Amino acid sequence: MCGIVGYIGNQDAKEILLKGLEKLEYRGYDSAGIAVKNEEAVHVFKEKGRIANLRNIVDETVAATMGIGHTRWATHGIPSKENSHPHQSTSGRFTLVHNGVIENYEQLKREYLSDVEFASDTDTEVVVQLIEKFVTEENLEVLEAFRKTLTLLQGSYAIAFLDESGSDTLYVAKNKSPLLVGLGDDFNVIASDAMAMLQVTDEYVEIMDKEIVLVTKDQVTIENLQGEPVKRPSYKAELDASDIEKGTYPFYMLKEIDEQPLVIRKIIQTYQDDQGQLTINPDIITTVNDADRIYIIAAGTSYHAGLVGKQLIETIAEIPVEVHIASEFGYNMPLLSKKPLFVFISQSGETADSRAVLVHVKELGYPTLTLTNVPGSTLSREADYTLLLHAGPEIAVASTKAYTAQIAVMSILAKVVADHKQKEVPFDLVQELGLVANAMEVLCDSKEILEIMSKEYFTDTPNAFFIGRGIDYYVCLEGSLKLKEISYIQAEGFAGGELKHGTIALIEDGTPIIAVATQASVNLSIRGNVKEVVSRGANPCIISMKGLDMDEDSFVIPEVHELLTPLVSVVPLQLLAYYAAIQRGCDVDKPRNLAKSVTVE
């Protein structure tokens, strides 16, 4: 949540910062701001809402070659111009942007800043006011004042600030929130995500928690909180600039839905050795095999992928799996098995709820594995092992291709572990995943019919229910999340048999019921559940799989292996949600109140 950029060099900082913020808008879009410094002063421009609003108010005549920028997902203080970053100290000397949450900000205000009049309701302002206080009242050098401030902060932060009366330097630090330094010739940058500054450089240096970084036009100095110098090599960000463009698509979400067949093929290819055998790091296989139980920890869509993963791992590799919502597990840990393995599933690799569990279970000494789309992300760095999703950057806030990639990678993990145990897997996973990719392609070519269906079921409806049994139920949870988050229709996923235990009371004339039927063992029972709601007036939409389809079905997906159906049945649900959001005039890629990377607990 929230995105930060900074630039110091010879070019026009405003445009580089604004372009960078546009690439970070997925991290929050409640407000945005930039501050640029030239010989005269620091100039701050900030506005509520999107970067486009900010662009409208930036004074084009201000020339400056250094500055910082921020796009906000509000936590402390409503989305407003006053609460937008950058924030300034009372004298205006220091100007700061921050991503994260300063948990002890009220205590710091009371103890150190009771005489300061605050201009915002944010936790962030405390940081910039503390720096000013230590400089003016304790005569500390700016760097020392920053260091002292950091030692007082509890919580998460990525911080960058400018000193109007000091040298041309970006002062930078982080703890738990992501931040990178980008290197160039005659310039340097900072960014929450390399994507933002790919416009000027692909060479980056990681910053670790509690390090302080001083960035000038031609130097980057890293030190730890004790002031000891730190040396770290740079790396090339493996991002293709075209991966982060929308191309001819109206929305990233549609592009990302369409990319799914390619992603599945890329995953097959990446996890195959020269002989065409699926393979993963042998240490991971040993770790999985040593576990008597796997605990999958995730949030939102990744949690839904975890539910499917449980089915895959238990069926194929015969290891018991529990799936837990990260934000619950942290506070309500179940009785663990004797040799647990913790698997974190996270597209971004930055989700604070999951990270809190990771930190805790590491302290307890348990082995950890992260499945993530973002190499070098916090969860990837901090877990013992990582399996990458290879889905390419996912920019739409609503996750699509990362979900299917997560399931595909878990199927490979299950298969490789089963092979290692010499347990026979009665199907060829590479071949079956190939069929999945083909089926996804067929579905991506069925947009017109899904658009018509979406109109039929979702125009004017206040709510919708998704029902399925077994693995189809898990897909229903994901289908309903997609619909509610981007179209704002209240939607819920239910186990087909559970509806009659209460929720059926909500069924009225015309209530849309989307039923997913891809499993032979429950095909008749889910259809029985559909009949129960139809006789109470519901408007049914049965999405079945070829071979199990019946005359009454609205949409039939191509046949794939029954364990892999979620990879395919989710595609029409993603597209139904997409078109529902379009019909309602919603901003598909940036749904209200949301952000892509949830870095607060």
Q: What distance in Å separates the CA atoms of residue 68 and residue 96, rounded to the nearest whole number?
A: 8
Q: What is the arrangement of strands in the sheet containing 188-191, beginning at the earlier edge strand?
A: 42-48, 31-37, 66-72, 3-8, 188-191, 180-183, 203-206, 235-236
Provide the residue type at 252 as one letter: Y
Nearest distance from residue 317's CB to ligand F6R, in Å?
23
Nearest distance from residue 479's CB to ligand F6R, in Å?
11
3-state secondary structure of 250: coil
Of positions 65, 156, 169, 302, contacts ligand F6R by CB under 6 A? 302
Q: What is the arrangement of strands in the sheet containing 321-325, beginning at the earlier edge strand?
A: 321-325, 293-298, 340-346, 368-372, 385-388
- CB-based closest residue to ligand F6R: 300
Window 127 to 156, contacts with ligand F6R (CB under 6 A): none
Task: Give the pairing of strands 555-557 and 539-545.
Answer: parallel
DSSP one-letter string for 68-119: EEEEE--SSS-SSTTTSSPEE-TTS-EEEEEES-BTTHHHHHHHH-TTPPPS
Window 156 to 185, contacts with ligand F6R (CB under 6 A): none
Q: Which residues of 131-149 are buried (b: 16+ CB within 10 A; e: fewer)?
A: bbbbbeeeebebbebbbbb
Annotated catalytic residue within 14, 37, 174, 596: 596
User: Binding mask 435-474 vs ligand F6R (x if CB under 6 A, - otherwise)?
Assistant: ----------------------------------------
100 Rama class: left (phi>0) / alpha (psi -120 to 50) / beta:
left
299 belongs to the binding site for ligand F6R (CB under 6 A): yes
Nearest distance from residue 380's CB to ligand F6R, in Å?
12
Nearest distance from residue 379's CB to ligand F6R, in Å?
8
User: Binding mask 53-92 vs ligand F6R (x if CB under 6 A, - otherwise)?
Assistant: ----------------------------------------
Nearest distance from residue 302's CB to ligand F6R, in Å?
4
Residue 55: both structure tokens together: 């662009």
The 3-class secondary structure across 359-422, one letter per residue, is HHHHHCCCCEEEEECCCCCHHHHHCCEEEECCCCCCCCCCCCHHHHHHHHHHHHHHHHHHHHCC
Residue 51: both structure tokens together: 């970067």
Considering the complex, state which of residue 300 and residue 330 has its C-beta at the smaller distance from ligand F6R.
300
Considering the complex, state which of residue 13 and residue 598 has its C-beta at the smaller distance from ligand F6R.
598
Considering the complex, state which of residue 542 and residue 598 has its C-beta at the smaller distance from ligand F6R.
598
Size of the site for ligand F6R (CB under 6 A): 14
Active-site annotation holds for 476:
no
Residue 466: both structure tokens together: 């998704």
Window 337 to 376, contacts with ligand F6R (CB under 6 A): 346-348, 351, 354
Considering the complex, state which of residue 398 and residue 548 has its C-beta at the smaller distance from ligand F6R.
398
CB atoms within 10 A of CB 574: 28
Considering the complex, state which of residue 188 and residue 302 has its C-beta at the smaller distance from ligand F6R.
302
Considering the complex, state which of residue 519 and residue 574 has its C-beta at the smaller distance from ligand F6R.
574
Q: Please identify, among the stretches 118-126, 293-301, 331-339, 361-369, the one whose residues bind ligand F6R according to the rule CB under 6 A.
A: 293-301
Considering the complex, state which of residue 72 and residue 596 has its C-beta at the smaller distance from ligand F6R.
596
Of positions 17, 101, 212, 598, contacts ligand F6R by CB under 6 A? 598
Of positions 84, 95, 99, 301, contacts ligand F6R by CB under 6 A? 301
Q: What distance in Å separates the CA atoms of residue 516 and residue 506, rounded to the nearest whole number?
A: 20
Nearest distance from residue 115's CB to ligand F6R, in Å?
40
Q: Please tell me the total number of residues recorded for the chain in this structure.
A: 601
CB atoms within 10 A of CB 26: 25
Close Cβ partners of 407 (under 8 Å, ≥ 6 residues apart): 305, 308, 309, 312, 564, 566, 567
Q: What is the chain's percent helix, strand, coil content, to nearest 5? A: 40, 20, 40
Active-site annotation holds for 255:
no
Nearest distance from residue 464's CB to ligand F6R, in Å?
17
Considering the complex, state which of residue 255 and residue 561 has its C-beta at the smaller distance from ligand F6R.
255
Considering the complex, state which of residue 184 and residue 300 has its C-beta at the smaller distance from ligand F6R.
300
User: Are the C-beta atoms of residues 425 and 419 closer than 8 Å to each other?
Assistant: yes
Annotated catalytic residue within 2, 444, 476, 541: 2
Window 394 to 413, contacts with ligand F6R (CB under 6 A): 398-399
User: Binding mask 471-510 vs ligand F6R (x if CB under 6 A, - otherwise)?
Assistant: ----------x---x-------------------------
Q: Where are the beta strands (DSSP E) in 438-588?
A: 463-468, 490-495, 512-517, 539-545, 555-557
User: Are the C-beta atoms of residues 209 and 157 closer than 8 Å to each other?
Assistant: no
Nearest distance from residue 600's CB to ligand F6R, in Å?
11
Nearest distance from residue 597's CB to ligand F6R, in Å?
6
Residue 145: both structure tokens together: 């004042």
Q: What distance in Å separates the CA atoms of residue 350 and residue 39, rounded to the nearest whole number?
A: 38
Q: Please identify, among the stretches 123-131, 219-227, 295-303, 512-520, the one whose residues bind ligand F6R according to the rule CB under 6 A.
A: 295-303
Q: Which residues are catalytic?
A: 2, 596
User: Interface with ligand F6R by CB under 6 A: which residues?
Assistant: 299-302, 346-348, 351, 354, 398-399, 481, 485, 598
